[in-house]
Amino acid sequence: MKILIVEDEEKLARFTELELMHEGYETEKVFDGRLGLELAESGRFDLVLLDIMLPGLNGIEVLRRLRKSSDVPVILLTARDSVMDKVSGLDTGADDYITKPFDIEELLARIRAALRKRKADTVSSTLSSGLLTLDDASHTVKYDGNEIELTNREFGLLKKLLENKSIVLSREVLLEDVWGFDYMGETNIVDVYVRYIRSKIDDVYGIKLIQTVRGVGYVIRD
């Protein structure tokens, strides 16, 4: 397993590299966004640790460009604990993020989780409900043959609900499984994403795809 570290705080990058090597990972580190993007796109890495505040090109922009050609797992390293950073990072296609200063054990756990999740994701399948189909392999969602453009996070949320048809999933479960970490507080982010999906599917096709179960969570029923 080879991990790319894109982090301009050299001390932190070196410390992280040593800990990862100690865990048996191969690593490479760069201190600038442009070079980070170039290396991340090379396909030589199994996972990328990406700082947000970087010289050259910031982490969100690196991620945005990287996602055009690569689905390598990315964990964002952020010093800023703002909801906007998290949302824009996750929306842009980050698999997870960790706020600096972080505990190395926590980082290692998230790396393992991201690698596991990616492995599970490669088992492809098609899910459906009524005229709606979700194809994991091609990452497409269609309603009656019409393609619907969803962000990675919206896609993940819809997939999770389709995989558990007729089972009501709580916001906490959705957060843990779709966002992939313990999202302290702010469980209303799930509501925000359900609204996004509804605006792209329900509102357009006049259906009621995701049902709200008051006080419990969300469910898709046929």
User: Would you count residue 104 as binding Ca ion (CB under 5 A)?
Assistant: no
Question: Which C-beta is closer to Ca ion: that of 8 or that of 23?
Answer: 8
User: Would you count residue 136 as binding Ca ion (CB under 5 A)?
Assistant: no
Question: Which C-beta is closer to Ca ion: that of 8 or that of 202?
Answer: 8
- Neighbour-count burial of 3, counting CB atoms closer than 10 A to its CB (0-12 exposed, 13-18 middle, 19+ buried): buried
Please give the Cα distance from 79 to 196 (Å, whole number).
28
Within 10 Å of residue 207's Cβ, how many Cβ atoms?
Answer: 15
Question: Which C-beta is closer to Ca ion: that of 50 or that of 141?
Answer: 50
Q: How far is the CB of 41 from Ca ion (least distance, A)?
A: 20
Q: Binding string to Ca ion for residues 5 to 34, with x set by CB under 5 A, is what?
A: ---x--------------------------
- By rule CB under 5 A, what count of residues binds Ca ion? 3
Within 10 Å of residue 208's Cβ, how many Cβ atoms?
Answer: 11
CA 77 to chain centre: 13
Q: How far is the CB of 9 from Ca ion (least distance, A)?
A: 5
Q: How far is the CB of 13 from Ca ion (least distance, A)?
A: 9
- Write out the binding residues for Ca ion, residues 45-74 only, by CB under 5 A: 51, 53
Reduce the DSSP state of residue 28 to 3 states and report it.
strand
Reduce the DSSP state of residue 211 to 3 states and report it.
strand
Please give the Cα distance from 49 to 152 (Å, whole number).
18
Of the ranges 4-12, 82-90, 143-151, 214-222, which one interacts with Ca ion (CB under 5 A)? 4-12
Within 10 Å of residue 99's Cβ, how many Cβ atoms?
Answer: 16
Q: How far is the CB of 101 from Ca ion (least distance, A)?
A: 12
Please give the Cα distance from 203 to 121 (Å, whole number).
29
Q: How far is the CB of 31 from Ca ion (least distance, A)?
A: 9
Please give the Cα distance from 129 to 106 (Å, whole number).
37
Q: How far is the CB of 53 from Ca ion (least distance, A)?
A: 4
**Residue numbers of the site for Ca ion (CB under 5 A)?**
8, 51, 53
